[in-house]
Structure 1
């Protein structure tokens, strides 16, 4: 086997021996350290017959040119010229040489390419091996070896034979009158034999009148005769039970050329499409791509839009678009591709004029021979309504349907932006209901909610125009007035609003009365930012509430300073507790009958490192507001019990409790822990409360008081006689002691009503077996009068101010000596 060799299990022509020889020759000529071998070492000398196959290329100014060609190469190129540009060669040869040469230069290695050249309808395949070499004149020379590979084949015959489509040629047979009487198959391909389901030998030279294939049906033959008579072409279909063939016929004199295609699958798809289209529950239609006329609508579209089918098919797309969207719809239609998906929702008009929101999805189709778009419609009207409701809920209060804080702040920011160019005023009003908590406590939260809705209705009726009223939470409302109002106008409006909200409300036969307090901030003087104005209006509201409620107050810079002072104190309080700056002082409780100390009231003191001693009246309310009083109260309990454990057995210690400690629900455990830690007997601990403990969550607080009594701890009512319902509290809980407020003791000698009150409380205490203690005793006369009225205990500066822990022992010794001297 000399002419061929076996490679990878296949026999290849001798050309591959030539290619191997050339590659080895190129490799052998490559010297160490050089990137390319020399032209002379590769292309000159021992090439022999291979030289006839060489096209020598050179590169000049970025373009390739033919330098030399061998005899075989000249026949291939059909050109014997040398030193010509590559572009002068036939395009198929030029392309092959250019690709091979460029690739060899890029890689710096031999490169094998393949060229397909068509000559006289015959396809020839050539191997092109490009060998890059260096030239001693500079630059690079590329020798391209060219040789034909394999056998030639006829392009048209190959395409004709290989196509799946059926191709036949038929000759007309005419009768004596010259009319076509039959047709004879004179040529066909394998595709035609397969589609007609007959062997090629059975079909070749067969007359159609003899039958036995689908072309032989009388109606088919008549159509083919008409094509020959008219000299034109036609397209028609042949349907049988199992398949459908599409026939294309073209006449050339008495010769017919037929193309046969199997369109069975297409017809089935069209049938499925019809079934899917007509019976689909989704509204669908097809419109003409050019005219936008409806050319098909399904039952769902007819039912959903309300137009009859006949009306629909007389309409164009534009007639279901709202007029204000004609331009945007038209632009979207111009940009449509083969597949379309809504990037937004559109508005459509139904037959009754109502608008719906839809998403549309389309695909280009051929429908009944017309180019069009199949469109499916999804009605999202209810979804949009639901989204609108959700958006409304996101910016409105669920109870009153007023705008909420987010909406209010957005509106205020926009109003401030609009007011800035003309330096116009924007007013912010914070409105808080007075006594609303009493309604909730007395009638329950459902009644309170109904009252809030009625308040909201009154506010909406009063606040109009471009102004906004919102509910910020609880019983707090806010108003923005955007009409460049003056301070006097805001003041008049606020007075009118307070009167309106303070008028009685009737709910289920109950008459309810609440008041209102209003804080006001005006831009730009009180701030030009949303958060700043709201904060300042809130400070003004705090001042209005502090002044008794039922009034309005404008923001003043002093309020800001007070607020800053309060914030500083909050910070200092937390730091003070962490740093141990608090201490307890003790004021003696003196038994009038024995003139002896029966106990001490522990009083909290704060020794600030810079500001010195700070009054409890200043920091206790703030400690309650920020919740620090719970931890601070537990510390007081533990310290007081620990100190009292060092005193004589008969001396008690009194500790004041805050209402906030009751809300923490940890009070009983804190008392037990303090007693256990100190070892103090519960009988020596006295806890003082104010009537405010009864004003909130009475049942829960009473339960806590009873638990404390069960421990053996004494319970004292502080500031008795100054509240609203003190006598009812004595019925609610069996107090061990009631303390007469210092305001009655102070004017005991000057005012008879004070003496009467002290006398009544002392008598009440004796009747209920409750100890009475008078606070604020400063003179001997006050002491004598209290003794005469039957009071049991006293405390005040007459005996001692509150003293630090270190001085308690001296107080006890002093009173002990006085008792000895009296004896």
Structure 2
């Protein structure tokens, strides 16, 4: 039936003004000798607000199509499309429009129809006026006006919620041994409040053990506990306050549905039966409790199910039940008490053989001398289809239609449980695509998405039977081999999978080549839970990627040891920062021409309470991975600026910046804050970056560098010459200094190519007016070569390793006059 919806528009009395206006407009447009007025004369012109309520239907070749529709109509239909057949709309609205239009065309006159609209228990009455017109194209056009007559109401509330019958929901309360011993009232209607003679506010959330109402008696509580323990229905009577009350109890897990009835309420319901039944827009019927034959059906049931009234009254319930549900329907019927509310959806058969899903609401009645049941039906077929689609989408990847991570984990858990009981192995394969990022970068993400769908198709072709393939996210997939595979079988399968995925793909005449790497873990040796197997397969995948990709690797315990070492490092790092275990040491920078210290490079050091000094090469990458480097970098910057403020005014301090710090986008504010707190001049601060900073978000990072330069801070490129395109970076940003990597300085005296590189970098620095600093100077020979090649500045163990801040004054005094003499 037509859905009742809250739509904008005019109500009630204005509706009755609209209909005569349209009827007069149709009559006025009818010319002598013509059967129908022209479409232009009726539907075009000053319709004003009525246009939103009009749908234009076209009748052509015995087909009705919706050609145009106003905004109100689109909301009513739940569909904004034009030029579509009525059959493409929801059947409820399509039926109402079709009947009004057909009657208007058959009589050649405007036809006013009334439609009762019901869905999920909501009722609304609509007036539908169909105005037939002719068109210059030969087809008949029907302008159809729709508007609601009155406000909507909830039919189920009208029938059940406002009844004198009391309805309560009770939640069982269990003790430490999981035994029920008490109940709490979690929901009740006004009928229950009246019958229990207490306000709803005092009853809701009240425990029965608190006493105060008739449900709290030991006899009633004992019967309720019996229902919870057995899961069966129960029905019994209690006498109180000169009233005989009937209680019906049904268990749904730990929730009891309790109904309370008295004889007076029953009689009042019987008196109003005909009023609620015969003209009710919700399908309803009465059937004989003994024979299950239909005793009466209302018009709505006849229309909705398609059986004639005579046919209906000659049938029994079983004839509308799907055959595979006969047993469950019969069992539910046998357990029905005085009232019935289906705890699940049921299948019903319509006259045309189609199956619908319904909820049923019933109560026992005496009908014309028969013991029967009055039943109300709510059709939830469309709702169930939508829920099924939502459930599918919740467990499948929207791009590839493969199972997603949640479904994958559920299936893996089931496979492991079966494998444990049957003593069979389960293999987990983590699959990662090689070179996929290049496809996205080169051809764009739409091409990458199409490639992922093709990859999914190839994976589906290889993974069959009880096995499963899923997309976990990005270009990462996973496979479950649940059929007791051996390591050799898993290895062979992985090899075939890599070969299949690595074959060329053709997309829009473009050949795309990628590869695949696979990590494998097998139960029970590599883990007995989903988490263990997935983690270990992922570690094996990491090893496969580290080995160059395009291969598969099995999990090994050494991988777990390394991973544990990494996790311990992460925990130690976080604790170390909180406990103040980090120190800033300073290594001198020596001006070769002046033979004196020109500044110090601040270097982070970690003094572990148990392990002693830990190499920055070990902990800096981990700190970057876990994001701790941002906080550490800010702390180093503040410490270095504060310390440098104590030095002579011509001594600078250099601070290294991690690319991770640039991602926070507040680096400039951090530098400004450190300078302001310390009072250090910006011209005395030098910030060192590496070429990896330019590998991502170059424009944004360049903007930050320019802002820092505007403060007066110097910018230095560290490890120059070891990256990918240093010269292009020098064009992108005017660096103040470039630092020659220690790998070129180490073999200066032995290798001519190192001399050539240092000479080229020094010459480049002179040409661009950029200071050049050589790192790792350890011998006088190296210093002489660097001086001869025109290098400006040096640092290394020849002069001093990095020292704590309290040794700076001694270093300045020692090297104060001439650094070369001190060396």
What TM-score comes out, normalization by structure 1 length?
Answer: 0.62
**Where does residue 495 of structure 2 map in the other structure?**
495
**Where does residue 683 of structure 2 map in the other structure?**
683
SS at 1:421 equivalent? helix
TM-fit CA distance, 1:380: 1.3
Q: Are 2:399 and 1:394 equivalent residues in the alignment?
A: no
**Where does residue 351 of structure 2 map in the other structure?**
351
TM-fit CA distance, 1:294: 3.2
Give, in whole Å, the separation in 2 of the partners of 1:273 and 1:422.
60
**Where does residue 171 of structure 1 map in the other structure?**
none
TM-fit CA distance, 1:377: 1.7
Moved more, 275-284 or 508-517: 508-517
Distance 1:290 1:610, change over 3 A: closer
**Is contact 1:347-1:355 (8 Å) kept?**
yes
Please list the CA deviations of residues 289-336 of structure 1 after superposition, one character each: whole Å capped at 9, or x if unmatched.
Answer: 443333443443333333344443443221221212212222223333
TM-fit CA distance, 1:341: 2.6
**Where does residue 100 of structure 1 map in the other structure?**
none
**Where does residue 667 of structure 1 map in the other structure?**
667
SS at 1:498 equivalent? helix
Please list the CA deviations of residues 38-68 of structure 1 after superposition, one character each: whole Å capped at 9, or x if unmatched.
Answer: xxxxxxxxxxxxxxxxxxxxxxxxxxxxxxx
**Is contact 1:292-1:316 (8 Å) kept?**
yes
Give, in whole Å, the separation in 1 of the partners of 2:811 and 2:503.
58
**Where does residue 607 of structure 1 map in the other structure?**
607
**Is contact 1:396-1:402 (8 Å) kept?**
yes
1:264-663 alignment, distance < 5 Å:
277-365=277-365, 372-436=372-436, 449-503=449-503, 514-663=514-663
SS at 1:680 equivalent? coil
Give, in whole Å, the separation in 2 of the partners of 1:682 and 1:764.
26
TM-fit CA distance, 1:711: 0.8
Please list the CA deviations of residues 402-424 of structure 1 after superposition, one character each: whole Å capped at 9, or x if unmatched.
Answer: 33333222211211111113421
Distance 1:636 1:509, change over 3 A: farther
**Where does residue 776 of structure 1 map in the other structure?**
776
Indicate the structure (1 or 2) with the bigger Cα radius of gyration.
Answer: 1
Q: Are 2:757 and 1:757 equivalent residues in the alignment?
A: yes
TM-fit CA distance, 1:538: 2.5
Query: CA RMSD, aligned part only?
Result: 3.2
Distance 1:820 1:296, change over 3 A: closer
Gaps of 5+ in 2: 1-265
SS at 1:420 equivalent? helix
**Is contact 2:595-2:820 (8 Å) kept?**
no
Give, in whole Å, the separation in 2 of the partners of 1:680 and 1:510.
58
**Where does residue 805 of structure 2 map in the other structure?**
805
SS at 2:421 equivalent? coil
Please list the CA deviations of residues 15-56 of structure 1 after superposition, one character each: whole Å capped at 9, or x if unmatched.
Answer: xxxxxxxxxxxxxxxxxxxxxxxxxxxxxxxxxxxxxxxxxx
Give, in whole Å, the separation in 2 of the partners of 1:789 and 1:500.
56
SS at 1:536 equivalent? helix
TM-fit CA distance, 1:375: 2.6
**Is contact 1:717-1:737 (8 Å) kept?**
yes
Give, in whole Å, the separation in 1 of the partners of 2:552 and 2:821.
63
**Where does residue 26 of structure 1 map in the other structure?**
none
Please list the CA deviations of residues 151-201 of structure 1 after superposition, one character each: whole Å capped at 9, or x if unmatched.
Answer: xxxxxxxxxxxxxxxxxxxxxxxxxxxxxxxxxxxxxxxxxxxxxxxxxxx
**Is contact 1:423-1:524 (8 Å) kept?**
no
Give, in whole Å, the separation in 2 of the partners of 1:347 and 1:279.
25
**Is contact 2:270-2:365 (8 Å) kept?**
no
What TM-score comes out, normalization by structure 2 length?
Answer: 0.62
Distance 1:449 1:710, change over 3 A: farther
Moved more, 646-655 or 705-714: 646-655
Please list the CA deviations of residues 481-506 of structure 1 after superposition, one character each: whole Å capped at 9, or x if unmatched.
Answer: 11111112222322333344445556
TM-fit CA distance, 1:654: 1.2
Give, in whole Å, the separation in 2 of the partners of 1:534 and 1:734.
48
Gaps of 5+ in 1: 1-265
**Is contact 1:419-1:426 (8 Å) kept?**
yes
SS at 2:818 equivalent? helix
Give, in whole Å, the separation in 2 of the partners of 1:624 and 1:722.
20
TM-fit CA distance, 1:441: 5.9
TM-fit CA distance, 1:447: 5.5
**Is contact 2:427-2:485 (8 Å) kept?**
yes
Give, in whole Å, the separation in 1 of the partners of 2:501 and 2:813.
62
**Is contact 1:294-1:312 (8 Å) kept?**
yes
Give, in whole Å, the separation in 2 of the partners of 1:482 and 1:385.
31
Please list the CA deviations of residues 626-676 of structure 1 after superposition, one character each: whole Å capped at 9, or x if unmatched.
Answer: 222112111211222222223333222111111111122232122122222
Give, in whole Å, the separation in 2 of the partners of 1:620 and 1:269.
79
Please list the CA deviations of residues 530-558 of structure 1 after superposition, one character each: whole Å capped at 9, or x if unmatched.
Answer: 22222222222333344444433222112
Distance 1:581 1:274, change over 3 A: closer
SS at 1:662 equivalent? helix
Q: Which has the higher contact order (CA 8 A, sep 6+)?
A: 2
